[in-house]
Structure 1
Amino acid sequence: MRENIVDTAAQLIAKYGLKKFTLDEIASELQISKKTIYQHFQSKNEIVHAYFSSYIESDKKSTEEALTMNCSVPEKIHAIVYSTHHYILPISVLEETKQFYPDEWASIEELRQFKLDATQGLLKQGINLGVFRSDINLSVLSKMLEKISRMFMDYDFLLENRLKPREAIDEALKIIFDGILRS
């Protein structure tokens, strides 16, 4: 039941944001009482915490799996940029998180740094293997790759350009890699 509550909260968060979804809506969606919710969670904030914990854990696991894949360095970077998440985390929710949930924001920042470090390690490995040019500023390139990974959450951009998330990310990575791969 605990997972069902968080799953339903995730859907409501994606639809309404962190502050506007209610426990009444969760109860209604699951056809349970609020009392049942309180048997599993002490508060709405605890549900929000579980939502972020699941999101961060799934993203970190996906990144770790990408690092151990038996494939090329560019393919590993692609897998990190397009890492899978248990829940959708819209950009608007990130803004709310930063403003109203500082502990969750700190966890997101830790995840961002973890992914940035992993990406920089792969870029260094690619340079050492002769896959990438050695005159590339790794900090700038890492930041670009981080920003690309958020592209699939920018629904307005995707709709406006008639792109699916994977298409947008693939195109951005193609542009970057064609510019840094040796001929």
Structure 2
Amino acid sequence: MRERIIEVATEFIKQYGLRGFTLDDITGELSMSKKTLYKYFASKNELISEIVQRAAEIEKQRVLQEIDRCSTWFEKLNAILYVYSFPGIPFRVVNELQRFFPSEQETIAEIRRFREQIAMTVLEEGIARGDIRDDLDPAIMLLTFTKTVLSPSEDQFLNANDITINQLLEQMKKLLFYGILKR
């Protein structure tokens, strides 16, 4: 039953955001009493915390699995940039999580640090192979990736420009790798 509660809550989060659903919504969907729900989760915050923790673990495992499939540093970097555990969850939910659920900040920071550590290793591999310019500081390259590609995007921007997150990431990658100048 615990797993089913998490599944239903995750679907509500996808549809309505973190603050847009209630425990009553879950009990109604599962035809259970609140007393039964409280046997598994003492509060909505506890339920959200469990979902965030699971998402973090899934995220780490998916990134590692994708990297294991890659043979070059460039493929690995692409995997780091494109793998997300819950692609159906809008980025607005991540923004909402950061804004209204500060207790989950460490988990979000942990995922970011995990990706950054792997990305740094991959960038250093590219430099060592001679594929990436060695006159650029890898820490600054990483900062650029972090501030553009690895940070959440605004749904408003995506909607206003009628583009998907994957289109945005692809354009950002082109900008970072090839610049804006014609050659």
Q: TM range, normalised to the smaller chain?
A: 0.7 to 0.9
Question: What TM-score, normalized by structure 1, do the two folds share?
Answer: 0.83
TM-score of the two chains, using structure 2 as the length reference: 0.83
Question: CA, structure 1 residues 102+154, in 2 after alignment: closer, same or farther (shift >3 Å)?
Answer: closer
Aligned partner letter, 2:74: P
CA distance in 1, matches of 2:52, 2:165: 21
Structure 1 portions without partners, runs of 5+: none
Aligned pair in 2 of structure 1 residues 87, 49: CA closer, same or farther (>3 Å)? farther
Q: Is the 8 A contact 1:10 1:88 kept in 2?
A: no
Q: 1:144 to 1:89 in 2, by over 3 A?
A: farther
User: Following superposition of structure 1 onto structure 2, how do residues 153-164 of structure 1 map, counting pairs within 5 Å?
Assistant: 153-164=153-164
Question: Which consecutive residues of structure 2, in runs of 5 or more, have no partner in the other structure?
Answer: none
- The alpha-carbon deviation at position 99 of structure 1 amounts to 4.6
Higher deviation after alignment, 5-14 or 40-49: 5-14
The aligned residue for residue 29 of structure 2 is 29
| SS of aligned partner of 1:163 | coil
Q: 1:9 to 1:120 in 2, by over 3 A?
A: same
Separation (CA, whole Å) in 1 of partners of 2:3 and 2:42: 15
Structure 1 partner of 2:149: 148
Name 1:172's counterpart in structure 2. Answer: 172
| Aligned residue runs from structure 1 range 38-77, under 5 A | 38-77=38-77
RMSD: 2.4
How far off is 1:149 after superposition? 3.2
Q: Which residue of 1 aligns with 2:132?
A: 132
Does the 8 Å contact 1:149/1:169 carry over to 2? Answer: no
Identity of aligned residues (%): 31
Residues 92 and 154 in structure 2, CA contact (< 8 A), matched pair in contact too? no
1:103 aligns with 2:103: yes
User: 2: CA distance between counterparts of 1:105 and 1:88?
Assistant: 21
Q: 1:89: how far off?
A: 5.0
Maintained 8 Å contact 1:62/1:80: no
Cα offset for 1:95?
4.4
CA deviation after TM superposition for structure 1 residue 157, in Å: 1.8
Tell me whether 131-140 or 65-74 shows the greater mean CA deviation.
Answer: 65-74
